[in-house]
Every structure is written in C-alpha cells, then in structure tokens.
Amino acid sequence: MQTFNSPSISASTDGPRKLLDAIIGQDLALQTVKNGVSYRQRQLVKEKAGIIQSNTSRRRFSSPIWRLPTEILSEIFLYCLPEDEHLVYTSRQAPMLLTKICRQWREVAVGLPMLWSRLQLEVKHDDWQQRAFCYDSWLKRSGGCLLSLRLKSRTDWRELQGLLQPYVQQISSLTLDFLSCDAPFMMEDFHALKEVTVFQCGLYDPARVTSRSLSTLPVNLRRINMLDLCFNREQLDLFTDSAWARLTHIEISVDGLDAFTHILRLCPNLCSLSMIGAFYPIQTPAPVTHTNLQSLHMYWSVLWNTDEGDLGLFNVITLPNLRILDVSNGGWWPHGSFMGFLTRSKYPLERLIFSGEVWTTERERAEYATLIPSFE
C-alpha cells in the first residue's frame, strides 16, 4: 500500500503543534515562576514573623517586670486584689483579670492559692450550672488554702451546700445572707469554721429562721456576728447551751437586758461581747457571774423607768475579769449601781470609755479617773 507524504499537509499540521508546544512551555514557565514567588512569599512571611517575635521578646525582656522572679510577681498579684472582704467572679478585676494578660501571668496567678481564698457566691434566677462551674474552678485554685466565703440565697441553700461539700474542711470564715430565704443553712460538718456572720433581708421572723442554722454549730466555731438581727430573751431560748458554750466572741443586737444576762449563761467561755439595741430594765434579776468576759461594748437606746435611768443591769452581774467597758448613747449613767458592780467585781477595769450621750457629773468622772487607769 502506498503512503503519500504531501509537503503541504505536513506543513499545515506542524504549525499548530509548534504553537501548542510553545503555549504549554510558556504555561510551565509561568507556573514555575509562580511557584517560586509563592515560596519566596512564604519565606518573607516567616522572616517577618521571626523579626516581630524577636523584637517583641527583646522589648519584653528589656522591661523589668518581665524579668521579675515568680515570688516577687506573686506578691505583686496579692496587692492587686480588691480591698473587698469577699471577691466577685468577674474578668474585669483581679484575680481573674491577671489570668488574661499573658501565659506567664496566668501560670503564676493560677498557681497562687492565696489569690483564690476569698469569694462571694450567690444563687440567682439564671443558669446555675454555668455559675457553679465558675465558682468551682475558682475554689479548686485555692488548693488547701483556708477559705473566707460569703453566700447569698433567695430560695434555699441546697445548690450552694452541694457545691461547697468538697471544700468544707477549708472554710474558716463564712458570711450568710438570708435574702428572703427562710431555709436553714446546716454547718455542723464545717470543722475548720472559726467565724460566722449572719445578715438578713426581707425575713418575717429572722431570729426564728437563723436560729435553726445556729442551733447546731461546728466544734471549732468561736466567733458569731449577728448585729443585723435582733433577739429577745425568749428567742435566745431557741439556742442550746452545748452549741454556744464554745463561743468566745459575739456581736449581737438585743431587745432588753434580759437577753444580755442570758447570753452570759449560754456562753461560759465568752471573752468579748458587743451589743446594740433597746435596753429595757431587767425583768429577771437573778445574779450572774461570768469569769471569762474581758471586753464589753454596749451601744444602746435606753428606755428607763426611773429618774436615774438605772436599768438594774449592774445590780445583777459580776465580771471579775472585765478589762474594757465601752459604752455609747443612753442617758443618765447609773453611778451608784456601777460602783457596786466595780466593788463586787474587785475593780478589774483597765479602760472605761464613754461616748455619745452618756450623762455623768464631774464628781463621778473624777472618781472613775481615780479608780480606772484609762478613762475616756
């Protein structure tokens, strides 16, 4: 079979093929250049990042604060804490704010238990699970540090008590806000607890409600502050002698002086007592001797029924170890019965303070200045 190779046909096919080869070659060359540019661009980006990091590191370590030892930085962090007795969980203030600055600060802050030893926890009408998670993460950072907590509740204490269960042996100070909450807060298992403060708002009978929380106390509890509440003699009967026998410091509002003498009987180990309230005359004048009370602060609005304003208090109490007596407001001071009290107690006072509207004569004040080392 004969094959024809026509020159005209060969020429017509070679032209497009060469053109196609040329175009393909150009595309390959462009792709090579493009790849080279991309590679160089990536190199430049890396070099720029390295320069920026190098400059940042240089500036960072040129500032003295970045070269501080962890111990010094920890001390500075402690001074950054707000002065509030109990801290709130917020990223706008320390200690949470300190964890947002840089990795080093976060590591130091998270590893410093003292930063996380004070917290205010509140049950609100919102997402309790999220709130509980935040509170728990805070408390975990406290390590084995003793805790000072303030609890607020408008319903009951179950959520907060459940959350605090792993930390009950760390809680040394507790403030309870009964915000219209009439359920008791049981704290008998809080063996590290040393002091309790109770506030109330909107309760119909705060003494009755809080007495259920304070009728059984932890074995190591020594201080109670109930100035926000008011108890009369009958309401104090709700407390048992065994629960209050270990208390050494009490701050309380009372309705009538019979409540005062009953407190002395309830608390044989009491060293310090602060009272405010309306001091009616003694109704049950049974004598009371308390050998451990050393400091007595009385801030009253006296309702007397005699011309001298003698409410009968100093006729029934004997305090042989009382060192400080601080009295504010009231009216006429019962000089006669007070002198009998001093004689009966064998003149133990080292300091006597009168302030507000305590009325005495110049002769009486001169006598006190002679008998008592410090009279104000």
**To the nearest whole number, what is the mean pLDDT of the chain?**
82
Confidence bin at 250 (pLDDT 50/70/90): very high
pLDDT value, residue 6: 46
**How far apart are the C-alpha atoms of 46 and 235, rounded to whole Å?**
77
270 pLDDT above the threshold of 80: yes
pLDDT above 90: residue 330? no
Within the chain, strands assigned E span 118-122, 147-153, 171-179, 195-201, 223-231, 249-255, 272-279, 288-289, 295-302, 317-318, 324-328, 331-332, 351-355, 358-359, 374-375
Q: Kindly state the DSSP code that residue 281 receives in the 8-state scheme.
A: P
Mean pLDDT within 223-237: 87
Residue 66 DSSP code = G
- Say if residues 273 and 290 touch (Cβ distance below 8 Å): no
DSSP-based three-state secondary structure for 239: coil
pLDDT of residue 2: 44
Which tops the pLDDT comparison, 55 or 362? 362
- What distance in Å separates the CA atoms of residue 202 and residue 178, rounded to the nearest whole number? 8
Res. 184 pLDDT band, cuts 50 70 90:
confident
| Cα 261–chain centre separation | 32
Alpha-carbon distance 246 to 217, whole Å?
9
* Entry pTM: 0.77
What is the tens place of the pLDDT at every residue in 123-176?
877 778 898 999 999 999 999 899 999 998 877 788 899 999 999 999 999 999
Burial class (CB within 10 angstroms; exposed 0-12, middle 13-18, buried 19+) of 222: middle
Q: If pLDDT is split at 50, 70 and 90, which confidence band does 242 have?
A: confident
Which tokens in the block code for residue 367? 């006598």
**Are the beta carbons of 93 and 127 closer than 8 angstroms?**
no
Q: φ, ψ for residue 289 (rounded to 5)?
A: -115, 125
Look-up of token digits 């238990």: 113
Residue 43 in this model has a pLDDT that exceeds 90: no
pLDDT of res. 9: 45
Q: Is the pLDDT of residue 207 over 70?
A: no
> Of all helices (H) and strands (E), which one includes residue 70?
helix 70-80
Residue 199 bridge partners (DSSP): 177
What is the arrangement of strands in the sheet containing 223-231, beginning at the earlier edge strand? 118-122, 147-153, 171-179, 195-201, 223-231, 249-255, 272-279, 295-302, 324-328, 351-355, 374-375
| Sign of torsion over alpha carbons 220, 226, 229, 235 | positive
Angle at 260 between CA 259 and CA 265, to 5 degrees: 95
Neighbour count for residue 150 (Cβ, 10 Å): 21
Q: Specify the residue for token string 């009486």.
A: 364
DSSP-derived 3-state class of residue 235: helix
At which residue do the structure tokens 């005495």 appear? 360
pLDDT tens, residue by residue, 7-28: 444 445 556 566 555 555 665 5
Question: pLDDT at residue 47 above 60?
Answer: yes
Q: List, in order, residues 6 or more apart from 221 with CB less than 8 Å away.
A: 187, 190, 193, 194, 195, 196, 246, 247
Using the 8-state DSSP alphabet, how is residue 375 labeled? E
